[in-house]
Amino acid sequence: MNFTSKFLFFSFGSLFLFACNSNKNESFVDPLLTNRDTTVSPTSNFFYHANGSWFKKNPIAASDQSNGIFNTIGDTINSQIRQICEKSAALTDAKQGSNEQKIGDFYASGMDTIAIEKAGLTPLKSELAKIASVKDVVTLMKEIAHLHTIGSSPAFSFYIGQDDKMSLKYALFFMQGGLGLGDRDYYFNTDERTTEIRSEYKKHLQAMQLLMGESKEIANKNASIIYKLESDLAKVSRKLEEQRDPVKNYNKMSLSKFNELTSNISWENVLVELGVKKADSVIVRQPEFFQALNGMVKTVSIEDWKVYLKWNLIDSYSNYLTSKIRKQNFKFYATIMNGVKEQKPRWENIVNQTNGSLGELIGQIYVKEYLPAGSKEKLLEIGNSIRDVYAQHIKKLDWMSEPTKKKALHKLSKIVMKVGYPDKWKDMSKLKITRESYCQNVMNSNTWDYNFMASKYGKKVDKSEWAMYPQTYNAYYDPSNNEIVVPACNIIVPGFEGRMPDDAILYGIIGGSTFGHEITHGFDDQGSQYDENGNLNNWWTPEDLAKFQVKTKLIVEQFNNFKVLGNKHVNGEATQGENIADLGGVVMGLEAFKRTPQYKNNVKISGFSPIQRYFLAYGYAWMVNINDEALGNQIMTDVHAPAQFRINGPLSNIQEFYTAFKVKKGDKMYLAPEKRVLIW
Ligand SMILES: [Zn+2]
């Protein structure tokens, strides 16, 4: 996927605004008032000023890596999905093949821990046998390809998506991948924390080998084989920031050229296994990675490759196997990597997985049963208002010439806004789900997802498709379609149950951090390289492009200066797209807010001026408290900066913020005028 979303970690939503429940109105407590920590000045750390009291009252649970607005919203949506799952599971007469039958049986199979324990590794038996039968490079590559079709992705990453330069056509993308740790830097950085994670990872590999039935001696040997193979792949992997340049990561070549580049591999055979017929070209994101892989299929023994493939299979399915395997997987990936101490209750894990596998089916019930009337319309109204002020802003930009402005306005006018839920749902009638095996259900669902993707190749691009569910509290911009997608549950604002939030809230959260942010992705360091039709095609004059790059460089510098966990700093280069989007979002949300009666009439609420309230609402949009382990992981693997900088970073550039909170020279939130930057 090459689209850019609002945030990485999916969480789910909370309390519906237009929902009934009006008896709560009398006891309304304004979260913007009570979330604040007034012992922290807004001029020194606005993020903690806006949210600090809430953090103190709501410590991070042992079963979570963070707490904040996303968890609150997530709890509500999860309890709604739980009801859908449990009601479906309780039906005794659900029609075979119906959505309720699939949801109910999937959920029930996940809750049936007795059957899961009894099955042990049996659900993977035939897959393990396939790996065992690999005997040479040809069968190795075929098996690697096969594993890609069932939800595992050893050795590299593969997907089918729109060609960056011909958005009306699907293309085959080959990318670096195959690592058990989240990023190549985990294999090489020498700081204490990364060194510790490496050593824990090796222990994890050993423990998983033991759980797969290997002797202690073989387990140790296999762990070394896997680690060595992965670090060889990591060595030739590009850094997070090097993956941002869409031109450098677009290397289209004929299939014969790809074969020539990697002469030990027959990609025709691989593609047959991947279910792709008649391909003449591929897009290789990182050619040097595949050249190295080409060497490795010969230099690494077939037996060692088999050890690595088995590990990939078990790793991909460990959450659906016995409690011992789940526990070991949790210990490394949740506890050690992200500081989560306890597993969530079983129902919550299974709700999450049912939604992950069958979200398209759950969404159909969700919009009927839980979406308040008028949600879609309200979201659209806010979105249109943001697009409107965006156009006014572009016209007034003092650094951009008329020809580029004309192109930018044209692109903006062509942005498609998909809001709420899709007009048509994916046909999942061929997906088979039973109560017998949870692991098999997940595999069937992974296979269905893969086949859905593979079946697109050679067909006309379906522009109506959604890559998120209505119950997904997130949003995205897709440069290939020049579209933003805002799922229905983005209407949720915790604390405003049964009442319409005031405009400062609507425009700070939904207008700024959602619509404004996503639209700006169309004009960030990456999105700005795509034209109005979604093609990688420069529409800038050289002078304007140079001025734009001076501005984005300032953003990179600002974020490089932010430090966490002692001396670790944010990766300004890798996070620049998100930071540009945040800055654009907060500016546009504010401009749209200025058109509302609340602003024009200077209506004070809870003692705050409209502008103060707008910034506090923006702070509420990123009310996220995260533990140290997860924060350390985030800055290495995520293109989103930590939440506190997503607030303090953009606001330090905005004059209205200085005025509203009387920020002056010497304050921590103060940035010298020559260091401030506004782009859009
Ligand atoms: Zn984003």
Structure confidence by residue, pLDDT tens digits, 628-646: 999 999 999 999 999 999 9
Q: Name the one residue in this structure whose structure tokens are 């909170």.
A: 661
CA pair distance 612, 631, nearest whole angstrom: 29
pLDDT tens-digit map of 250-281: 999 999 999 999 999 999 999 999 999 889 99
User: Residue 625's CB: how many other CB atoms inside 10 A?
Assistant: 21
Q: How far is the CA of 114 from the centre of ligand 1 (A)?
A: 42
Superfamily, domain 4-59+374-413+494-675: Collagenase (Catalytic Domain) (3.40.390.10)
Ligand 1 centroid vs 309 CA: distance in angstroms? 34
pLDDT for 455-507, tens place per residue? 999 999 999 999 999 999 999 999 999 999 999 999 999 999 878 899 999 99
Ligand 1 centroid–CA 483 distance in Å is: 13
Is 80 exceeded by the pLDDT of residue 26?
Answer: no
Q: Is-contact 606 32, C-beta < 8 A?
A: yes
pLDDT digits over 117-152, tens only? 999 999 999 999 999 999 999 999 999 999 999 999
Distance 14 CA to ligand 1 centre (A): 21
Taking each helix axis as running N to C, give the angle between helix 643-651 and helix 610-621, from 0 to 180 degrees, rounded to the nearest 10: 150
Please give the distance, rounded to the nearest whole angstrom, from the Cα atom of residue 577 to the centre of ligand 1. Answer: 7
Separation of 314 CA from ligand 1 center, angstroms? 32
Tell me the pLDDT tens digit for each residue of 35-93. Answer: 999 999 999 999 999 999 999 999 999 999 999 999 999 999 999 999 999 999 999 89
The pLDDT value given to residue 20: 35
Burial class (CB in 10 A: 0-12, 13-18, 19+), 455: exposed
The first and second tokens of residue 388, run together, are 């409107």
User: Ligand 1 centroid vs 164 CA: distance in angstroms?
Assistant: 19
| Cα 671 to middle of ligand 1, angstroms | 24
Share of the chain above pLDDT 90, in %: 94
β-pairing verdict for 281-284 and 166-175: parallel
Instruction: Output the CA 167–ligand 1 centroid distance in Å.
Output: 21
The token duo for 2 is: 């090459």
Q: How many CB atoms lie within 10 A of CB 476?
A: 21
Domain boundaries, the chain: 4-59+374-413+494-675, 124-317
Q: Is the pLDDT of residue 1 over 80?
A: no
Q: What are the angstrom distances between the C-alpha of 90 and each of 29, 94, 100, 101, 370?
A: 38, 9, 10, 10, 20
Rounded to the nearest angstrom, the gap between the alpha carbon of residue 344 and the centroid of all alpha carbons in its chain is: 21
Question: What's the gap in Å between 615 CA and the centre of ligand 1?
Answer: 19
Place of tokens 């070394």: 224
Measured CA to CA in angstroms, residue 511 lies from 115, 358, 592, 652 at distances of 48, 30, 8, 19
C-alpha triplet 223, 225, 231: angle, nearest 5°? 100
Quote the ligand 1 centre to 11 CA distance (angstroms): 15
pLDDT in tens, 383-415: 999 999 999 999 999 999 999 999 999 999 999
* Helix, strand or coil, per DSSP, at residue 160: strand
Distance of alpha carbon 21 from alpha carbon 484, whole angstroms: 32
What gap in Å lies between CA 82 and CA 91, rounded to an integer? 14
Tokens in use for 288? 């040097």
Distance 650 CA to ligand 1 centre (A): 14
What is the domain class of 124-317 according to CATH?
A: mainly alpha
Under 8 Å CB-to-CB from 426, ≥6 apart: which residues? 360, 452
Tell me the CA–centroid distance for residue 5 and ligand 1, in Å.
Answer: 4
Indicate the burial class of 194 (C-beta count within 10 angstroms; 0-12, 13-18, 19 or more).
middle
Residues in Cβ contact with 561 at an 8 Å cutoff, skipping those fewer than 6 apart: 569, 572
Among 589, 607, 610, 611, smallest CA distance to 656 is for 611
Strand, helix or coil at 87? helix
CA 478 – ligand 1 centroid, Å: 11
- How far is 608 from 616, CA to CA, in rounded Å? 9
**260-263-266 Cα angle (round to 5):** 95
Q: Tens digit of pLDDT for each residue in 619-632?
A: 999 999 999 999 99
Residues 6+ positions from 294 with CB-CB distance below 8 Å? 261, 262, 263, 264, 265
| Cα 71 to ligand 1 centre (Å) | 19
pLDDT digit string, tens, across residues 168-223: 999 999 999 999 999 999 999 999 999 999 999 999 999 999 999 999 999 999 99
How many residues does the structure list for the chain? Answer: 680
DSSP H or E run through 132: helix 125-132
Q: Is the pLDDT of residue 21 over 70?
A: no
CA–CA gap between residue 633 and residue 628 (Å, rounded): 9
Take residue 611 and report the two structure tokens written for it. Answer: 């502008």
Q: How far is the CA of 101 from the centre of ligand 1 (A)?
A: 36
Residue 506: name the closest of 649, 618, 623, 661 by CA: 618
Task: Tell how far the Cα of 629 is from the centroid of ligand 1, in angstroms.
Answer: 23
Ligand 1 centre to CA of 422 (Å) is: 21
Residue with tokens 């490496």: 198
Interval between CA 7 and ligand 1 midpoint (Å): 6
Q: Are 155 and 233 in contact (CB under 8 A)?
A: yes
Do the Cβ atoms of 536 and 482 come closer than 8 Å?
A: no
* Ligand 1 centroid, distance to 517 Cα (angstroms): 6
Q: What are the b/e assignments for 73-87, b being 16+ CB within 10 Å?
A: bbbbbbebbbebbbe
3-state secondary structure of 72: helix
What's the 396 CA to ligand 1 centre distance in angstroms? 25
User: How many angstroms is it from 630 CA to the middle of ligand 1?
Assistant: 19
